[in-house]
Amino acid sequence: MQVSSVFSGMEISVSGLRAEKRRIETYANNLANINTTRTPEGGPYKRQEVILQSAPDAQGVRVIGIQEQDSYRLVYDPDHPDADQYGYVHYPRINLVEEWTKMITASRAYEANIAAFNLQKQNYIRTLDMLR
């Protein structure tokens, strides 16, 4: 029996923890920048989405990239210092409810991966105790 196969359940949980941590960080960053304006010269922030993929060796999941959305919502506010020549301010297209929902989902998936990891750990400890 190979060592990697003995701990494959833990490896899968760890890959899930890493992926969900990245998703939580990304959604938090989106929320933190929900009211960041875009100047007429170009914007400082674009909404981000984490792209996940099954690991090629079937050992969990991995982050393969961050996709940026280059779309903005326009708010007419000609007195705003970042308004364009027509009086519109460009904000990133971030939906507060959607971002919170995704963050809660990622948090719960993170917690589920912790529970799965701990269960595997307890099973290994029990097995070792029986072998003594």
The 10s digit of each residue's pLDDT in 28-58 is 999 999 999 875 566 678 899 999 998 777 6
Q: Which amino acid is at 83?
A: A
Residue 95 has pLDDT above 60, yes or no: yes
Candidates 25, 47, 23, 50; CA nearest to 105 is 23
From residue 128, alpha-carbon distances to 14, 42, 122 in Å are: 22, 60, 10
Domain spans of the chain, in order of start? 3-131
Element (H, E) at 54: strand 47-54
> What is the CB-side half-sphere exposure of residue 15 using CA atoms within 13 A?
19
Query: Looking at per-residue confidence, does 55 or 93 come out higher?
Result: 93
